[in-house]
Amino acid sequence: MAIAHSKVTAQGQISVPAEVRRRLGIGPGSVLEWDEKSGHVIVRKVGRYSSADVHHALFGETPPKPNVNVKDAIRTRMRRRHAGG
């Protein structure tokens, strides 16, 4: 069920409904990120990522490994990414 609805203006603008602003903790100057996945549009406050988003960025589509040390995984990923410049 939808939280709220917005109408697009002729200039392509929308208003973010008050309930959505409260839930996301956004106000004047907040930056929103728009993403499309499987035909759905996802809007989120920049800087808010789920653990699934972080996992996908670090490891791609592989399933989560049990007992992974996130700091070590990030360190290893960054070394591989920047090795050999």
Q: Is 1:21 a contact under the CB 8 Å cutoff?
A: no
What CATH number has the domain spanning 1-47?
A: 2.10.260.10
Q: Could you tell me where in the chain the CATH 2.10.260.10 domains are found?
A: 1-47
**Residue 40, CA distances (Å) to 27, 34, 36, 37, 75 in order:** 24, 10, 6, 5, 33
Q: What is the pLDDT along the chain (85 residues), one digit of tens a residue?
A: 788 899 999 999 999 999 888 888 888 888 888 999 999 998 888 876 677 777 777 777 776 666 778 888 888 888 888 886 5
Q: What is the pTM of this model?
A: 0.47
CA distance 55 to 52: 5
